[in-house]
C-alpha cells in the first residue's frame, strides 16, 4: 500500500497541536454537516424553509409594536421595519452559530467516541450552514430596503456597505470562538448551559439591535461600546442605512478582541478534546 494513503493518528501532546490540514482533508464531511443542518431541520415541517423568512418578519412586527410603539425607542430616522430587520439579520446569525458551537461536545459525543476527524469541523460547518440561512434573511432585508427607498425613506447606502463580508466573518468568528469556549467548559460543568442560555438573552439587549447607539444614555454608551458586537452592528447600519456610527477605533477593538478569543478558544478546545469523553 502506498504511503500516501496511510494516515497515522497520534495523541496530541501540545496545546496548539491542531490538525489544520486535516480540516481541509475532511472538507467533504463539512459539506455533509452543512447539508444535514440545512435539510433536516425543516424536513418534516409544513412550511419548511419559509420559516427562515417567517421568523424575522414576526420578530420585526413584535419589535415594532413593543419597542417602536409602546416604548417609543427612536430608530435614527430609519423606517422601523428596515431598522429592526437589519439588527435581526445579524443577531440571528450570531446567535445561531453561537448556540450550535456551544454544544459541540455534548451533541456529538456519540460520534466523537467512535470515529476520528478534526473536531473543529463541526463548529466550522455551523458557521457555513447558518450563513445560508442568514443570506435568505439578508435578501428579505434588501427587499425591504428597496421598497422603502422607492418610497423616499431616509435610508442611504454608501461605500461602507462593501465591508459587509468582513463584518459577517468577524461575527461568525466571534460566535464560534465564544461557543467553543462555552462547550469546552460545559463538558464538565453542565449547569453552565442554563446560565449561558439566560445570559445570551440579556446580552441581546446590550447590543444595539432594537435601539441605535445614539439613543443610549451618555453614561452607558461607553459600556455598550465595550461589547465587541456593537461596532459590527453600527458599521453595518451605517453602510446600508446611513444611520448608526462608524468608528474605526472601535471596529479595530472588535477585530483584536476576536483574534484574542479565537486564539484562546483554540487552546481550550485543543486541551479539552483530549479527554472530554471521560467527562461527557
pLDDT digits (tens, 9 = 90+) for 116-127: 667 778 888 888
**Is-contact 50 123, C-beta < 8 A?**
no
Q: pTM of the entire structure?
A: 0.85
Q: Residue 20 in 3-state DSSP?
A: helix
Report the mean per-residue pLDDT for the chain: 82
What's the alpha-carbon Rg for the chain, to the nearest Å?
A: 21
Q: What is the mean pLDDT of residues 30-40?
A: 77
pLDDT band at 151 (very low <50, low <70, confident <90, very high): confident
* CA dist., res. 130 & res. 135, Å (int): 9
- Answer yes or no: are the C-beta atoms of 129 and 33 closer than 8 Å: yes
- Over pLDDT 70: what percentage of the chain? 81
The three grid cell numbers given for residue 124, joined into one nine-digit string: 466550522
Here the cell at position 224 is 455598550
The CA distance from 193 to 196, in Å, is 5
Terminal alpha carbon distance of the chain? 37
Q: Smallest Cα–Cα separation from 117: which of 14, 4, 24?
A: 24
Give, in order, the Cα–Cα distances in Å from 11 to each of 18, 277, 280: 11, 14, 19
Residue partners of 40: CB distance under 8 A and separation at least 6: none
Which of 126-140, 193-207, 251-265 has the least mean pLDDT?
193-207
Amino acid at each position: 500500500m502506498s504511503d500516501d494513503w496511510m494516515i497515522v493518528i497520534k495523541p496530541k501532546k501540545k496545546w496548539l497541536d491542531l490538525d489544520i490540514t486535516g480540516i481541509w482533508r475532511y472538507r467533504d464531511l463539512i459539506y455533509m454537516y452543512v447539508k444535514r443542518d440545512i435539510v433536516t431541520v425543516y424536513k418534516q415541517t409544513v412550511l419548511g424553509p419559509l420559516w427562515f423568512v417567517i421568523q424575522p418578519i414576526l420578530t420585526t412586527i413584535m419589535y415594532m409594536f413593543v419597542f417602536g410603539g409602546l416604548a417609543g425607542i427612536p430608530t435614527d430616522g430609519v423606517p422601523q421595519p428596515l431598522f429592526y430587520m437589519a439588527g435581526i439579520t445579524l443577531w440571528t446569525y450570531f446567535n445561531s452559530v453561537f448556540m450550535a458551537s456551544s454544544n459541540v461536545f455534548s451533541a456529538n459525543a456519540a460520534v466523537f467516541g467512535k470515529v476520528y476527524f478534526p473536531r473543529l469541523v463541526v463548529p466550522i460547518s455551523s458557521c457555513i450552514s447558518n450563513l445560508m440561512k442568514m443570506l435568505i434573511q439578508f435578501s428579505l432585508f434588501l427587499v425591504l430596503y428597496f421598497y422603502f427607498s422607492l418610497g423616499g425613506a431616509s435610508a442611504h447606502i454608501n461605500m461602507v456597505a462593501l465591508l459587509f463580508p468582513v463584518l459577517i466573518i468577524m461575527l461568525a468568528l466571534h460566535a464560534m470562538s465564544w461557543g467553543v469556549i462555552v462547550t469546552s467548559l460545559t463538558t464538565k460543568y453542565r449547569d453552565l448551559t442554563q446560565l449561558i442560555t439566560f445570559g445570551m438573552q440579556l446580552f441581546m439587549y446590550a447590543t444595539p439591535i432594537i435601539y441605535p447607539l445614539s439613543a443610549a444614555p451618555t453614561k452607558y454608551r461607553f459600556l455598550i461600546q465595550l461589547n465587541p458586537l456593537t461596532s459590527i452592528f453600527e458599521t453595518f447600519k451605517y453602510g446600508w442605512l446611513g444611520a448608526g456610527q462608524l468608528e474605526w477605533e472601535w471596529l479595530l477593538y472588535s477585530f483584536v478582541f476576536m483574534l484574542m478569543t479565537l486564539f484562546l478558544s483554540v487552546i481550550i478546545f485543543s486541551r479539552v478534546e483530549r479527554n472530554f469523553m471521560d467527562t461527557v
